[in-house]
Amino acid sequence: MRRSPPWLDPGSLEFPDPRQAMDKPNGLLALGGDLAPERIIHAYRLGIFPWYEEPQPILWWSPDPRAVLYPNHFHLSRSLKKTINSGCFTASIDRCFDDVIDHCCRIRQHSEGTWLTAAMLDAYKTLHLLGYAHSVEIFQDGKLVGGLYGLALGEVFFGESMFSLCADASKVALYLLCRELQARGFYMIDCQVSSEHLYSLGASDMPRSHFLKRLGEHAQPPDPMGPWSTADSLAALTTRI
């Protein structure tokens, strides 16, 4: 393993081999570069993602193991099923991406720091306009109360962040994402780093070597670009499950 991560060549999209990432901190691979759409897309296909706090340089990561969630493995608890069947939420996809990522930023700033920097916000909003990034939105009484966003490349959805302003809103968003991905024939969701919360929803750890192999098989073009629903779609969650 490298003793220290290298700086990226600003004139090239090349990354070091993810298997050369550091053990401590787990997965740190490289520094620098930029957040141009083509660099981010290339990084994700290689199993690499950006994560940093200002005033740090951009840090690129590929941790081992990797947390993944297969769409058909989502754990729907009895209590969450009851919440969904109650009809208390409405939902949409790609209706207000900017609002979702802005909420994720505010929640993280309050609880974890400022890793969703202004440059990161701009980068993912651009990827949404290009048709790569998508959001799931959850509403209660017409107010946005939960959601998530990420990138769709090939048959893999790369989850970035989620937020919840009331109980179960982000869980419902993830459930709906899994349902949407199953309908579209997606293979898996990259959850990046594991947590007890993700485990409780059905996620599991995958060795990085296996993860990289799966990306080579499932995260390649063609990509499912473009919005996943019309901008004015808003459906009540009234179908019993």
Average pLDDT value over all residues in the chain? 91
134-148 pLDDT tens trace: 999 999 999 999 999
In sequence order, what E strands does 120-232 have? 133-140, 143-153, 156-164, 188-192, 204-206
Residues of the chain above pLDDT 90, percent:
80
- Asked if pLDDT for residue 124 goes beyond 90, the answer is yes
User: Residue 239's pLDDT is what?
Assistant: 44
Distance of CA 217 to the CA centre of its chain: 19
Q: 18-64 architecture in CATH? A: 2-Layer Sandwich (3.30)
Q: 67-236 architecture in CATH? A: 3-Layer(aba) Sandwich (3.40)
- Asked if pLDDT for residue 38 goes beyond 90, the answer is yes
User: Residue 235's pLDDT is what?
Assistant: 58
Give just the sign of the alpha carbon dihedral 83, 86, 88, 94.
positive
User: Residue 111's pLDDT is what?
Assistant: 46
182-214 pLDDT tens trace: 999 999 999 999 899 999 999 999 999 999 999
DSSP letter string, 123-137: HHHHHHHTT-EEEEE
User: Residue 110's pLDDT is what?
Assistant: 43
Instruction: Report residue 44's pLDDT band, with 50, 70 and 90 as the boundaries.
Output: very high
60-109 pLDDT tens trace: 999 999 999 999 999 999 999 999 998 899 999 999 999 999 999 886 54
The single-letter code of the amino acid at 67 is A
Sheet holding 188-192: strands in order across?
204-206, 66-69, 188-192, 156-164, 143-153, 133-140, 90-93, 235-236
- CA 63 – CA 54 distance, rounded (Å): 21
pTM: 0.92
Q: CA geometry: angle at 219 spanning 57 and 105, to 5°?
A: 40
Domain boundaries, the chain: 18-64, 67-236
Q: What is the mean pLDDT of residues 17-40?
A: 96
The three state secondary structure string of 49-112 is EECCCCCCCCEEECCCCEEEECHHHCCCCHHHHHHHHCCCCEEEECCCHHHHHHHHHHHHHHHC
Tell me if 58 sits within 8 A of 31, measured CB to CB: yes
